Amino acid sequence: MERLILIIPARNEEKRISKTLDNYWQFLKEKKNKKEIKDFEILIIVNNSKDKTEEIVKEYSRNFPEIRYVAFKEGGKGFAIIEGFKESLKGNFGLIGFVDADMSTPPDAFYELVRNIKDYDGVIANRWVKESIMTPRQSLARRIISRGGNFIVRTLFLFPYSDTQCGAKLFRRKLLEKNISKLITINWGFDIALLYCFKKESHARIKSIPTVWHDKAGSKINITKTPLRTLMSTIRLRLIHSPFRFIVRFYRKLPKKWQVHNPL
């Protein structure tokens, strides 16, 4: 039985973070009381937030010893997760995971990652297998874009996973210790970069399992721009790890407004 730390990146989440923390804390506390987990901590990484997110999580950290936070004035989701990994490695945690702040992944669905890690290096949630439950049902256009993007990713990186972008993942401490210095921040393709690093550097054994996913109102995903940005980030990442990396150096010299992988 190992100690668990859950990273939650939070940018401008004042309307949703309280519900997420309440639900996750209560769920994990019950698991600890039942001795199903040894101990846990919830680590919120407040990144580039302009609203009252930091004030809210600061109050939670005062009232709950299992909740703490670190705040940064800059950075996107990928940056926040990497900083969360670094902070997690300072403690004695054997399992290190992350979820989105909007609770698209409910606590019991995240806990399935914990239950399934067994002798694997990591476990990731997969929304695109038939056993998964997604509510509400996504539009045809969004399903086509998502599945098409997944096909491109699998082709470029030879991944066995049909869903690299789901925001619920769990890894063993040893895997992160070995690779933390090699992780790079690509906001619109961070999950792909993360999994590719683990595959390339460690030949990691990562299991993909069905999940429950609730699309939330107020999502920050732009159905038009986000897939394009993710695609460009994916191509850029593949070029970095190829003989054609010189193209990336040329790309970096372009005006920022033309660098479509950059965050809004």
3-class SS string, 172-185: EHHHHHHHHHHCCC
| Confidence at 261, pLDDT banded by 50, 70, 90 | very low
| Confidence at 217, pLDDT banded by 50, 70, 90 | low
Task: Report if residue 136 sits inside a domain.
Answer: yes
| pLDDT mean over 26-33 | 98
Task: Report if residue 263 sits inside a domain.
Answer: no
- Is residue 101 within 8 Å of residue 164, measured between CB atoms? no
pLDDT of residue 256: 56
| pLDDT mean over 12-25 | 98
- Is residue 28 within 8 Å of residue 107, measured between CB atoms? yes
pLDDT of residue 184: 84
Range of the domain at 52: 3-255
**Residues linked to residue 41 through DSSP beta bridges, in sequence order:** 5
Cis preceding linkage at 136, omega within 30 = yes
The closest of 261, 122, 127, 126 to 203, measured between CA atoms, is 122
Is 251's pLDDT higher than 80?
Answer: no
Task: Give the chain's end-to-end CA distance (angstroms, integer).
Answer: 41
DSSP codes, 23-53: HHHHHHHHHHHTTSSSEEEEEEEEES--SSH
Is 10's pLDDT higher than 50?
Answer: yes
| pLDDT mean over 233-253 | 63
| Domains of the chain: total | 1
- What's the whole-model pTM score? 0.86
Which helix (H) or strand (E) element contains residue 85? helix 77-88
Task: Report if residue 261 sits inside a domain.
Answer: no
Is 117's pLDDT higher than 90?
Answer: yes
Q: How is residue 116 written in tokens?
A: 């399934």
Is 6's pLDDT higher than 70?
Answer: yes
pLDDT of residue 260: 47
Task: Report if residue 260 sits inside a domain.
Answer: no
Task: Report if residue 38 sits inside a domain.
Answer: yes
Is 116's pLDDT higher than 70?
Answer: yes
pLDDT of residue 164: 92
pLDDT of residue 218: 57
Q: How is residue 26 written in tokens?
A: 């209560």
Helices (H) and strands (E) in the chain, counts: 9, 9
Is 244's pLDDT higher than 60?
Answer: no
Share of the chain above pLDDT 90, in %: 66
pLDDT of residue 262: 44
- Is residue 156 within 8 Å of residue 199, measured between CB atoms? no
Which are the contacts of 194, defined by CB distance < 8 A and separation ≥ 6? 81, 169, 183
* One-letter identity of residue 90: K
Is 258's pLDDT higher than 80?
Answer: no
- Is residue 56 within 8 Å of residue 101, measured between CB atoms? no
| pLDDT mean over 204-215 | 96
CA 247, CA 85: separation in Å to the nearest integer?
30
Task: Report if residue 142 sits inside a domain.
Answer: yes
CA 213, CA 166: separation in Å to the nearest integer?
9
Count the neighbouring beta carbons within 10 Å of the beta carbon of residue 22. Answer: 13
| Confidence at 230, pLDDT banded by 50, 70, 90 | confident
Task: Report if residue 8 sits inside a domain.
Answer: yes
Task: Report if residue 125 sits inside a domain.
Answer: yes
139 or 212: which leads in pLDDT:
212
Query: 227 by DSSP, 3-state: which?
Result: helix
CA 19, CA 30: separation in Å to the nearest integer?
17
pLDDT-wise least confident of 14-28, 82-96, 215-229: 215-229
Which helix (H) or strand (E) element contains residue 246? helix 246-252
pLDDT of residue 253: 57
CATH number of the domain that 133 lies in? 3.90.550.10
Which helix (H) or strand (E) element contains residue 124? strand 122-126
